[in-house]
Amino acid sequence: MIKSFFHYICVLIAGALWASFLVGAVYLIILSIYHVTPQTFFHGLARFWNQGNVLRGRDLIVLAMVILSLPLCFYGWYKLYHFKYIKLLTVPLNKILNGKYDNYVAPDVNIKNLKIEEKKTLDQFIQERLDIEKKKRNTDNNADFRREIIEKIQGTENL
C-alpha cells in the first residue's frame, strides 16, 4: 500500500516536471525562431490562417512540433509510470560507495536440523494415520477406565 502510494507520488512529480519541461522547450523554440511569445505566435498564426493564407515551411514545422508534443508527453508519463524509482536512491549510493556492492553475493546459508522426508503416496499416508489411531485406542482402553472408577467409588463407600 505504502509502496504503491510512494510510486504514484513519484509518477505525479516526475510527470509534472516532464510536462513543464516540454512546455518550456516549446516556449523556447518559438521564442528563438519567431522572437515572440507563443501566445502572440498562435494568435498571428490563427489570423494568418483565417485570412485564407496557406501555412508553409517553418510555420508548419513549429505547428507539428506543438501538436506532437502532446503524444510525447503521454509517452513520457507512460515511461515514468513503469520506472523503478528506488533506482534513484540506489544508483547514487552505489556510486558513492565506489561500486562496493556491485557483484555482492550472499554467503551460503547452512540450515541445521532440516528434516527431509520422501514424498508419500496417499495410501501410505492413510495407513500411517490408521496405525496411529490404533495405538491411541489400545492405550485408551475404556473397560480399564470404567473398572478403575468403580473401584474408587466402592473405596469411598467403605469409608
pLDDT tens per residue, range 14-46: 889 989 999 999 899 888 888 888 889 889 888
| Mean pLDDT, all residues of the chain | 79
Buried b (16+ CB within 10 A) or exposed e, 17-28: ebbeebeeeeee
Of residues 5 and 118, which shows the higher confidence score? 5
Location of C-alpha cell 513520457 = 76
pTM of the model: 0.49
Across the range 93-119, mean pLDDT stands at 67
Q: How many CA atoms lie within 13 A of 3 on its CB side?
A: 3
Give the three cell numbers for residue 87.
533506482
List phi, psi (to 5°) of 106. Answer: -65, 140
Q: CA-to-CA distance for 6 and 2, rounded, in angstroms?
A: 6
Range in 16-30, 39-53, 116-130, 136-150 the model is least confident about: 136-150
Alpha-carbon dihedral of residues 67, 70, 76, 81, nearest 10 degrees? -160
Q: Is pLDDT above 70 for 115?
A: no
Q: CA-to-CA distance for 43 and 39, rounded, in angstroms?
A: 6
Per this entry, what is the length of the chain? Answer: 159
Amino acid letter, residue 94 = N
